């Protein structure tokens, strides 16, 4: 799988976590895997470790996002935008293989596909602030 496909699949699974309890995450992951026909072993490990690591760091990630979104509480954000921000911030902060500008650009591209009309500019603005802090 290409990196963008991995990122999108990670985004989709992270989005699903908004609607399920954390103790259901492994079951949700197994169901999700069944829907992906071209998931190789290395892709499986990548998505699994990424999603579970992000979920384990949600409190810290959400605080960073909240601190950089004046006038927007996490509860008011669309679940799609919040999920994109979580994934991108994780990549910016914890993944040394992904340059910040790539994480931001990829997040904006995902927002163009899955977000609302204002999502790409909102995502870009928040991530630019996070990158500068």
**Percent of the chain at pLDDT exceeding 70:** 99
Structural domains in the chain, CATH included, are: 3-132 (1.10.940.10)
pLDDT at 37 over 80: no
Distance between the two ends of the chain, CA-based, in angstroms? 32
pLDDT of residue 31: 82
Q: How many CB atoms lie within 10 A of CB 9?
A: 21
Which of 14-23, 28-37, 72-81 shows the highest mean pLDDT?
A: 72-81
- What is the residue-averaged pLDDT of the chain? 91
Q: How far apart are CA 133 and CA 131, in angstroms?
A: 6
Report pTM: 0.91
Q: How many CB atoms lie within 10 A of CB 18?
A: 11
């Amino acid at each position: 799988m290409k990196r963008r496909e991995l990122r999108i699949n990670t985004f989709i699974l992270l989005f699903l976590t908004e609607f399920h309890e954390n103790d259901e995450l492994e079951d949700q992951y197994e169901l999700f895997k069944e829907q992906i026909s071209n998931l190789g072993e290395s892709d499986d490990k990548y998505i699994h470790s990424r999603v579970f690591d992000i979920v384990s760091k949600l409190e810290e990630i959400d605080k960073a996002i909240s601190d950089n979104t004046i006038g927007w509480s996490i509860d008011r954000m669309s679940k799609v935008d919040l999920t994109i921000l979580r994934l991108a911030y994780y990549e910016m902060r914890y993944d040394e293989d992904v340059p910040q500008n790539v994480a931001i650009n990829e997040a904006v591209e995902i927002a163009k596909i899955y977000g609302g009309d204002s999502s790409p500019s909102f995502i870009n603005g928040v991530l630019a602030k996070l990158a500068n802090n």
